[in-house]
């Protein structure tokens, strides 16, 4: 069973998954007219806003909670391993993939807001 799963993983992970994720990232980047770059200044303006009340959560605090729920321990360890094994080139490619993938994250969040339902 292990050999079968390893063979399936070898076929699906490297060529198919990475190519599909990059293709979706490029597609969403072009369809949204480079939203991750065009709204970069607006993003910084929004997270630097002060909360209205003293007990309110600031935009920055909400961003940090959201980021903490999205980025897990595995991602942190994975980045540390990539830097140890790949050096500065790994950091460069992680930033490039993050810029491409941020369009996918924008689309995912937008669709979540459009199609959310109350139970």
More confident position, 28 or 74: 28
**Is position 7 within any domain?**
yes
> Over pLDDT 90: what percentage of the chain?
61
Range of the domain at 32: 1-38+77-115
pLDDT at 96: 93
**Is position 46 within any domain?**
no
Domain count of the fold of the chain: 1
**Is position 60 within any domain?**
no
Residue 51: pLDDT band by 50, 70, 90 thresholds?
A: confident
**Is position 51 within any domain?**
no
- Cβ–Cβ < 8 Å for 99, 19: no
Residue 103: pLDDT band by 50, 70, 90 thresholds?
A: very high
**Is position 24 within any domain?**
yes
pTM to 2 decimals? Answer: 0.75
Is the pLDDT confidence value at 107 over 90?
A: yes
**3-state secondary structure labels for all residues of the chain:** CHHHHHHHHHHHHHHHHHHHHHHHHHHHHHHCCCHHHHCHHHHHHHHCCCCCCCCCCCHHHHHHHHHHHHCCHHHHHHHHHHHHHHCHHHHHHHHHHHHHHHHHHHHHHHHHHHCCCCC
- Residues whose CB is less than 8 angstroms from the CB of residue 47 and which lie 6 or more positions away in sequence, other chains included: 59, 60, 63
């Amino acid at each position: 069973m292990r050999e079968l799963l390893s063979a399936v993983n070898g076929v699906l992970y490297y060529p198919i998954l990475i190519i599909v994720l990059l293709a979706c990232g490029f597609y969403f980047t072009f369809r949204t007219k480079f939203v991750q770059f065009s709204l970069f200044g607006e993003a910084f303006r929004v997270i630097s806003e002060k909360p209205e009340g003293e007990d309110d959560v600031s935009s920055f605090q909400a961003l940090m909670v959201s980021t903490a729920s999205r980025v897990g321990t595995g991602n942190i360890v994975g980045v540390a391993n990539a830097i140890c094994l790949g050096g500065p080139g790994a950091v460069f490619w992680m930033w490039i993939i993050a810029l491409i993938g941020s369009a996918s994250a924008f689309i995912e969040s937008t669709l979540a807001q459009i199609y959310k339902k109350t139970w």
